[in-house]
Amino acid sequence: MHNPGHRFQAQDRLADGAQYIGGRLTKGTSGRTHAVVNPATGEEVYTYELASTADVDAAVAAARAAFPGWAATTPGERSDALHRFAAVLAERAEEFAQAESLQCGKPLKLTREFDVPGTIDNTAFFAGAARHLQGQSAGEYSGDHTSYVRREPIGVVGSIAPWNYPLQMAAWKILPAVAAGNTIVLKPAELTPLTSLLFAEAATHAGIPDGVINVVTGLGREAGEHLVGHPDVAMTSFTGSTAVGKRVAEIATSTVKRLHLELGGKAPFLVFDDADLEAAVQGAVAGSLINTGQDCTAATRAYVQRPLYDAFVERTAALMAGVRVGDPFAAGTDLGPLISHAQRDRVAGFVDRARGYARVVTGGEAPQGDLKSGAFYAPTLVADAAQDSEIVQAEIFGPVLVVLPFDTDDEGIALANDTPYGLAASAWSRDVYRANRATREIKAGCVWVNDHIPIISEMPHGGYKASGFGKDMSAYSFEEYTQVKHVMFDNTAVAEKDWHRTVFGDRP
């Protein structure tokens, strides 16, 4: 369709390869290539050589060599570097937006107004966080000693990111790690390496030393597993599916690494009968369709209290049917394609199987005509599914919202908690007591009240239950990329200390 032969602005700069090691782009040495495909058209836009395990070794070696120097910089120096980094990103904002839209199929308005500004704001946040190491006060807790806490960087961090928000995920992994004085090797998803590479390149341009930020672009089973198991990597930070997260956890655990897992989600959207119906409907459509539903916090299960149920289904279906699906680069497009044809077919499979036990109220098909060659899927609302059915329980990762009724508040909250996941949720009510109860009793890392989706750099993002553990963004994330050391000074200057007698001798 549109934009045949579309190029991204920085294409020529990435001609040297898709591995960013020691401040330079190089070609992967696996002997195999991979193509970045524009999912709106199916055309290949960038072909690159995949990383081998030797490339991962080279990247870890570069990060290891850069670690002592970077760890020795002052918080103020790291903060200055990150402020310069934020400024370079702001200068290149349009280039990032174009490349992200091209490789993911995201409408330009989403990359221009969400992915890119969010990343710049994160960078500025961690520039500030670098100077705010927090800890317990130094003090004479034993009476005979002065104790204090040092927060130290951990070493080389190995991070693995998914394809749904490649730029933001790279930022969420890289920024707290380097702000805290670590160096890092990031493996982006093989479908979407472009903006991670441009992010690392921009860091070099901002004066962040070579080797502090490295990117290896390879397959999960090969480059990914090698990075997680690498003996010189001290911490693994992974964002992706729960299934792959379990495998990553096994490898990281067997090599005794600090581990941070941001996994799948199946966010409930709980509408009580006193809610503002129109606000809930608008919120459900925006919250379920953001990024074509490929968002780990997207609203996926709307539970609506019986008196509002029919009106909610009808209004939501009507609003969804008016959402403009199309070319991500065209003005007026609301919803782009899924990341790939394989993902589109996977989503269609969930909906097609659900036809046997539920009602597809709107959508449930791939648009034809001009959009036929892209990985598009219509906004879809499914009603009347049983709570234990696949479409209610499994992570679909597409523009599909399931809606179910409930009667009592107890039942609504129980249903909201009834999946293995616990990443995010929202509660819709004008009664402060009801809403407050939902925030306490829903088991999720984030609960919104009368909204669904907004994130901010200052607040943590991360899961409960099978959605993983560890936090991205915020001071909590910064702390996770440090290790805490207790330092204890003797103040008595006595050779035979009183406590020694518990080990030897009989001093009174």
Positions marked catalytic: 262, 296
Contact 165, 172 (CB under 8 A): no
Q: Is residue 233 involved in binding ligand NAD (CB under 6 A)?
A: no
Q: Is residue 104 involved in binding ligand NAD (CB under 6 A)?
A: no
Task: Write down the least CB distance from residue 261 to ligand NAD, Å.
Answer: 8
Q: Is residue 48 involved in binding ligand NAD (CB under 6 A)?
A: no
What φ, ψ does residue 489 adopt, rounded to 5°? -105, 130
Q: Is residue 70 involved in binding ligand NAD (CB under 6 A)?
A: no
Beta-sheet strand order (sheet of 24-26): 24-26, 19-21, 213-215, 183-187, 156-160, 235-239, 258-262, 468-469
Q: Is residue 50 involved in binding ligand NAD (CB under 6 A)?
A: no
Reading the block at residue 400, the tokens are 């599909």
Task: Write down the least CB distance from residue 248 to ligand NAD, Å.
Answer: 5
Write the DSSP symbol of residue 141: S
Q: Is residue 338 involved in binding ligand NAD (CB under 6 A)?
A: no
Instruction: Tell me how far apart the alpha carbons of residues 375 and 327 are, in angstroms, rounded to a whole number.
Output: 11
Instruction: Give the range of 69-77, 224-232, 316-324, 361-369 binding ligand NAD by CB under 6 A.
Output: 224-232
Beta strands 421-422 and 464-465 are antiparallel
User: Which residues does 472 contact at the CB level (< 8 Å), separation at least 6?
Assistant: 172, 173, 176, 239, 262, 460, 461, 462
Contact 216, 55 (CB under 8 A): yes
Instruction: Tell me how far apart the alpha carbons of residues 348 and 444 are, in angstroms, rounded to a whole number.
Output: 28
Residues in the chain: 508
Q: Is residue 287 involved in binding ligand NAD (CB under 6 A)?
A: no
Instruction: Tell me how far apart the alpha carbons of residues 410 and 284 are, in angstroms, rounded to a whole number.
Output: 22
Task: Write down the least CB distance from residue 68 to ligand NAD, Å.
Answer: 28
Q: Which residues of 38-53 are buried (b: 16+ CB within 10 A; e: fewer)?
A: bbbbebebbebbbbbb
Task: Write down the least CB distance from residue 237 to ligand NAD, Å.
Answer: 11
Instruction: Give the range of 159-167, 328-336, 352-360, 367-375 binding ligand NAD by CB under 6 A.
Output: 159-167
- Select the residue interacting with ligand NAD from 229, 240, 336, 364 (CB under 6 A): 240
Instruction: Give the range of 94-102, 263-271, 317-325, 451-459 binding ligand NAD by CB under 6 A.
Output: 263-271
What φ, ψ does residue 236 adopt, rounded to 5°? -115, 130
Least Cα distance to 269 among 149, 442, 431 occurs for: 442
Instruction: Give the range of 13-21, 54-62, 258-266, 368-376 binding ligand NAD by CB under 6 A.
Output: 258-266
Instruction: Tell me how far apart the alpha carbons of residues 505 and 508 are, in angstroms, rounded to a whole number.
Output: 9
Q: Is residue 221 involved in binding ligand NAD (CB under 6 A)?
A: yes
Q: Is residue 246 involved in binding ligand NAD (CB under 6 A)?
A: no
User: Which residues does 102 contact at the CB level (< 8 Å), separation at least 6?
Assistant: 6, 8, 38, 45, 194, 328
Q: Is residue 281 involved in binding ligand NAD (CB under 6 A)?
A: no
Quick note: the x/- pattern for ligand NAD over 377-416, rule CB under 6 A, is ------------------x-x-------------------
Q: Is residue 228 involved in binding ligand NAD (CB under 6 A)?
A: yes
- Select the residue interacting with ligand NAD from 29, 147, 241, 439 (CB under 6 A): 241
By CB under 6 A, what part of segment 436-475 binds ligand NAD?
463, 467-468
Q: Is residue 480 involved in binding ligand NAD (CB under 6 A)?
A: no
Q: Is residue 224 involved in binding ligand NAD (CB under 6 A)?
A: yes
Residues that bind ligand NAD (CB under 6 A): 160-164, 187, 189-190, 220-221, 224-225, 228, 239-241, 244, 247-248, 262-265, 296, 395, 397, 423, 463, 467-468
